[in-house]
Amino acid sequence: MVRSKGLMVSIFIGAVWGLLLLLPDLAICSADAAAAGAHHGIDIGRLLPVWTVIPFVGILLSIALCPLLVPHFWHNHFGKVSAFWALLFAVPFVFVYHGEAIYQILHIYLIDYIPFIILLWGLFTVAGGIVVRGSIKGTPMVNTIMLLIGTILASWVGTTGAAMVMIRPVLRANKNRVKKVHVICFFIFLVANIGGSLTPLGDPPLFLGFLHNVPFFWVTTGILPHMLLTAAILLALFFIVDTFFYRKEKEHLKKVGPLEKEPIRIQGIINFLFLGGIVGLVLMSGYWKPGSYSVFGVHLDFQNTLRDFGIIVMGGLSLFLTPKDLREENEFSWFPIIEVAKLFAGIFMAIIPCLAILKAGMHGAMAGLIEVVREPYHYFWVSGGLSSFLDNAPTYLTFFNLALGKLGLAEAGVPAALAAGTATANPAFISYLTAISAGSVFMGANTYIGNAPNFMVKSIAEEAGVNMPSFFGYMFKFSIPILIPIFIIVTFIFF
């Protein structure tokens, strides 16, 4: 306990000292803001210096290091650590930019964070009521088939939906396995990320492209070869790795004894109706445009509010109509969603300067990075690399608009520009958008925070007793040595 308090005091003193050192820069920023006019509409991305991303880096390092250095403290106080980094950015941000800062904070919470948590909560709640009973034995072949099913499912119910539906059957099938961390990591690669690349329903950045006139099925045809190659390599590699560990565990599995033979059956089937309802609500919010309204100056769309309300209703009906014993059999608890909600509340606050600077493009502090993005493979790696740590939806949109501006295309011309083989087709834009789409979706698997379900899957697996690797452990033991070589192959073949 003393050590935990000492760590927090050290962090606080270091943060205050850092802010004192940066006061001259704060004064300059304040003067710039005043010159721009103290009203909503200031392009803060042009004014924010690069050091304003320090709280974001701090919260990432806390997620990475605290579970290793102070696990007991982290388990009990991760919400406070998240709030600390959020306030470290928010307080000086509001002090310098006043109303504009308040608007930006309200905007990211009302437009991004609240819908994000509602969707996660809805899918987590509904999927928690689906129980797959039966003697599913986690052999290499069975595990590979389950990952394949989840990968296919992800494009049609979303990576979050597929992950929440499939993670518990996978955990139950491998309950007696000793080495199963790799199963969960490959699950994150395939089901929580790469599988969602074939339709706008699969992953948020693709849905954002759909809202900006990218045809619904262009995604399917445009990224299909890239997805098939990546998924095929990963499934084959997983089968080899899982076979290796399975053979080493044969003696242990013999001692544990065979599972009781029980026919495979699914209970809580009514939850598939609620899952379909959530998918339908998400799709409705993309097609129906009834107008918007304003809350504290932030424009909200009626269809999105209806979607979020509908998702809450779907989750509530699931809780009311699903027998409690089914959730108990699933070892269902609210801790994973609470952990994600608290940590991402801080992440969404601290991410504001990162996204604003990125959105400012050549006029922001990341102008040097934007300048080097010229070829399709640049778009693939830069949009993907940033999506590994930032929200992949606005990252996608930034490079989407960058490509449009580079080629002088208006949004209305997007469908025509993507119609390969026609007179209006623009091969350069097709290449850019393919690279942006693949990078934003695929490379979300590089870290636990790269895509919404990643951290949720980790938390559920840990609740089930799986000793998941740390933030950096996941990167250096799994994502970097496995995914990066595959992405290099994809680059050489397609970009």
pLDDT in tens, 317-336: 999 999 988 888 877 888 88
Residues 69 and 153 grouped into a single domain: no
Bridge partners for 133 per DSSP: 265
What digits encode the pLDDT tens for the residues 227-260? Answer: 999 999 999 999 999 999 988 887 666 665 555 5
**Confidence at residue 483, expressed as pLDDT on a 0 to 100 scale:** 96
Report how far residue 31's alpha carbon sits from residue 33's, in angstroms, rounded to the nearest whole number: 5
For residue 361, is pLDDT > 90?
no
Distance in angstroms (rounded) separating the CA atoms of residues 448 and 468: 11
Say whether both 64 and 174 belong to one domain: no
Q: What is the pLDDT of residues 157-174, one digit of tens each?
A: 888 888 888 898 899 889
**Same domain for 213 and 76:** no
Question: What are 70-86's pLDDT values in tens digits?
Answer: 888 988 899 999 999 99
Whether residue 321 is found in the same domain as residue 380: yes
Q: Do 149 and 79 share a structural domain?
A: no
Q: Are residues 134 and 92 in the same domain?
A: no
Mean pLDDT of the chain: 83
pLDDT single digits (tens) 132-145: 776 778 889 999 99
| Contact of 337 with 120, CB cutoff 8 Å | yes
pLDDT at 229: 96
Nearest to 121 by CA among 337, 388, 327: 337
**Of the ranges 67-71, 132-136, 199-203, which one carries the lowest mean pLDDT score?**
132-136
Highest mean pLDDT: which range of 18-32, 244-258, 432-446: 432-446
So what's the pLDDT on residue 35? 45
307 and 377 both lie in a single domain: yes
Select the more confidently predicted residue: 28 or 64: 64
Backbone dihedral region for residue 468 (phi beyond 0: left; psi -120 to 50: alpha; all else: beta): beta
Same domain, 147 and 289: yes
207 domain residue, yes or no: yes
User: 111 lies in a domain?
Assistant: no
For residue 283, the number of C-alpha atoms closer than 13 Å in the C-beta half-sphere is 14
In a domain, 93, yes or no: yes
3 state SS of 133: strand
Residue 103 lies inside a defined structural domain of this protein: no
450 vs 255, residue with greater confidence: 450
Residues 178 and 256 in one domain: yes
CB atoms under 10 Å from CB of 23, counted, come to: 10
Residues 139 and 93 occupy one common structural domain: no
CB 259 within 8 A of CB 137: yes
Please check whether residue 113 lies inside any domain of the structure. Answer: no
262 SS3 class: coil
- Domain containing residue 68: 2-38+51-97
- One-letter amino acid of 169: P
**Same domain for 227 and 358?**
yes
Q: Looking at the 3D structure of the chain, how many domains does it have? A: 2
Q: Let me know if residue 104 belongs to a domain.
A: no
Whether residue 265 sits in one domain with residue 228: yes
Residue 44 lies in a domain: no
In a domain, 454, yes or no: yes
Mean pLDDT lowest for which of 105-114, 115-124, 243-252?
A: 243-252
Q: For the chain, how far is it from start to end, CA to CA, in angstroms? A: 52
Instruction: Return the DSSP state at 301.
Output: E
